[in-house]
Amino acid sequence: MPVIKLADLNKDALTCVPLHVGFIMDGNGRWAKKRGLPRKAGHSQGAKVFRRTVEDCRDIGIKYCTFYAFSTENWKRPKDEVDAIMKLLVKYLDDIRSMAQKNTRIIFLGDKSAFDDDIQARLVEIEEISKNNDGLYVLVALNYGGKDEILTAAKRLARDYKEGKVDLDGFTEDDFDNYLYTKGIPPVDLIIRPSGEQRTSNFLIWQGAYAELLFMDVLWPDFSKKDLIAACDEYARRNRRFGGL
């Protein structure tokens, strides 16, 4: 699939807004390297763009937005980089917490148990104080992997079956949805990956089975509202058939 260049898109009109958009926030390290900065500077700038993009989603009418912040594989990065990301996470969780004041529901996807107790407590608190909000839904994938999510869901299902809580006769995909981190959240319509990389990297495998994929030639720290509108414009031109005609 070719990388979409902004020059190829019509940015003058926004004719269709996807309900749920997923963002693979890629290119922070390369952004920093191009500027002779340490990689942590790219992550810091990327966090600022995350906050701005949340507001851009709100402005143009996107209801659900999911951000791939830290994957189950990202622990393999150099320790100093992981430590910097964790420090940045602690710093910006307060910013995420403040989003609840704008009727924003915040949900963290992934295995929280891998984080320090302080971070785990913050994640739980933020979800709790925003649980009754029904405006914009912001989902942040932390220590998340699509394969791990499906495996975790399958194990939970197996335990429930063993305990007699589930009858597999007539068990549907919708029933399995309830075992995922995204329980109650609609499937993702559009997945945007900046940086030019052309893969989804274990992101929302189940939820994005029929998502439109858009790879853009911009690094995440440079991602703007103009880029988001361009992506939605391209989405509007896609013919989504879901296997039909």
Has 72 been labeled as part of a binding site? Answer: yes
Q: Which residue of the set 56, 74, 116, 174 is catalytic?
A: 74
For residue 43, say whether it is annotated as part of any ligand binding site. yes
- DSSP strand pairing (105-109 vs 20-24): unpaired
Catalytic residue among 26, 56, 189, 227: 26
Ligand-binding site membership of 125 (annotated): no
Residue 122 in marked binding region: no
Does 241 appear as a known binding residue?
A: no
Q: For 235, phi and psi rounded to 5 degrees?
A: -60, -40
Tokens linked to 53: 């993009």
Quick check: is 133 catalytic? no
Q: Is 12 a catalytic residue?
A: no
DSSP state of 166: -
Return the DSSP state at 99. Answer: G
- Asked if residues 27 and 195 have their Cβ atoms less than 8 Å apart, the reply is yes
220 labeled part of a ligand binding site: no
Q: Is 219 exposed, middle or buried (0-12, 13-18, 19+ CB in 10 A)?
A: buried
- 55 annotated binding-site participant: no
State yes or no: 197 annotated in a binding site. no
Q: Is 29 annotated as a binding residue?
A: yes
Is 135 part of any known ligand binding site? no
SS3 143: strand
| 27 marked as binding residue | yes
Which one-letter DSSP state was computed for residue 218? S
Q: How far apart are CA 77 and CA 45, in angstroms?
A: 19
Q: In this structure, what token pair is assigned to residue 111? A: 């295995």
Is residue 81 classed as helix, strand or coil in its secondary structure?
A: helix
Q: Which residue ranges are tagged as binding site for Mg(2+)?
A: 26, 212
Q: Which residue ranges are tagged as binding site for substrate?
A: 27-31, 39, 43, 71-73, 75, 77, 193, 199-201
Q: Which residue ranges are tagged as binding site?
A: 26-31, 39, 43, 71-73, 75, 77, 193, 199-201, 212
What residues are annotated to the active site?
26, 74
